[in-house]
Amino acid sequence: MDFIGRVAIVTGAGGGLGRSYAWELAWRGAKVVVNDLGGSVDGTGASTKAADVVVEAITQAGGEAVANYESVATAAGGEAIVEAALESFGQVDIVINNAGILRDRSFANLTWEEIDGVVNTHLLGAFNVSQPAFRAMKEANYGRFVFTSSNAGLFGNFGQANYGAAKAGLVGLSNVIAIEGAKYGIQSNVIAPVARTRMTEQLLGPMAELVEPLQVTPMVVFLCSEQNPFTHEIFTAGGGRYGRIFIGTNNGWFAGRGVFPTVDHIASHLDEIRDISSYEIPLSSNEEIMIIGRALAAPPSGVIPDARRWVEVNISRDLFADQMEPGEEANEGFTHWVSLPDYLPNILKDPDLAQDLTPLLDELKKHPEISQAVHYDREVVAVTTSMASEDLRSLVAAFLQPHIAVDWQKADRRPFDLDGSTFAAGYPGPRTTIE
């Protein structure tokens, strides 16, 4: 696998993982911008030596590289790093966002300077370099990004709230770049490395000798290659072990379409809500929304058995207690509400109908799928065997339409918009949101 004709930017390449990435890419033919501020682990100070030493080693071995000493923590610095690649080599194909610092302290004692410095370097630093690079890649219809996250950001680690928050943010940034860059041939992935560097030696303890940067490098270099088919993913590498980390969603518990569960319902279904025996990995926010959409579109008996009990029997029993004969039990089923607007009496031919909806309730009860129906405050409430909430809205609208005093045909719109967000959308009064 070679990188001949490719140009790579590696931030934080003066030592540790970044140096290893830069060497490997250059050895395989890439032209490399070796960026390093040359500061200490906590981000203070600056020196050209770190980047210069790496560039000298690459060029002496016959490779091509230029040093860059800009700070990634500023937008101007990020622009300058990308400009160095364009001026020196004419293009940008690969960006490895690796630069970082540590300012560890327990959460309660963190200072703003410790938070600001770490977030600026890790998260905003990656943004500052990646945005101008993305623009160049977009023009070329090709690009590879690798963002360096951490198990501290993905899983948490004591004393690293600033670092963990920044590293978790990089996952979100990479995901969006992967989505927006897909049609331009731009891929973006995340590496969560475990390796001995000057930043991690104290954290790893005795294990440090067993996890070398060179063991992480092959995974990262592959992600930078033309042969890599993956994007929008997170990989872990350390000590010779390589794997995928992912964010997924389980099947969960579906209460039912149009249902408003209580806190008690949530408490009684926690096992299903937390069960990870089956899961999906959405590749965008839309895909996660589609999972919810599939549940909403499923028949009542689908997805999970509990969906057949959208609201527990006791809810129906309490609601319809004054409507039942002594000893009568409320029917099990789906409970749906249709909100009625305050101004309903003003648009009815017979305003009293808004106060006594017995004719409507009688009509609803004739439907074979409706077992109970009441007028409760400003709500028409019905218990059905399988009817969807929008079907109940349609029945209510169909009943009320002949009783409306306004000439809705001239208004060229339906009297009651019951299929979404508003009620009586055409009426020149207030618009009432369906609750």
Q: Which helix (H) or strand (E) holds 32?
A: strand 31-35
In order, the DSSP letters of 86-150 are HHHHS---EEEE-------B-GGG--HHHHHHHHIIIIIHHHHHHHHHHHHHHHHT-EEEEEE--
Classified as helix, coil or strand, 117 is helix
69, 142, 163, 427: the catalytic one is 163
CA distance 150 to 206: 19
Tokens representing 283? 């590749």
Amino acid at 12: G
Who contacts 61 (Cβ-Cβ below 8 Å, separation ≥6)? 26, 27
CA distance 256 to 260: 9
* Nearest Cα residue to 229 out of 261, 189, 267, 262: 189
Classified as helix, coil or strand, 61 is coil
CA distance 9 to 85: 7
Contact present, 307 and 254 (Cβ < 8 Å): yes
* Nearest Cα residue to 172 out of 127, 227, 111, 238: 127
Pair type for strands 379-384 and 370-376: antiparallel
- φ/ψ of 55, rounded to 5, equals -60, -40
Q: Known catalytic residue: 163? A: yes
Residue 142's alpha-carbon distances to 22, 133, 136, in angstroms, are: 20, 11, 9
Contact present, 342 and 378 (Cβ < 8 Å): yes
CA distance 39 to 120: 15
Tell me the torsion sign for CA atoms 424, 425, 429, 434: positive
Catalytic residue numbers read: 163
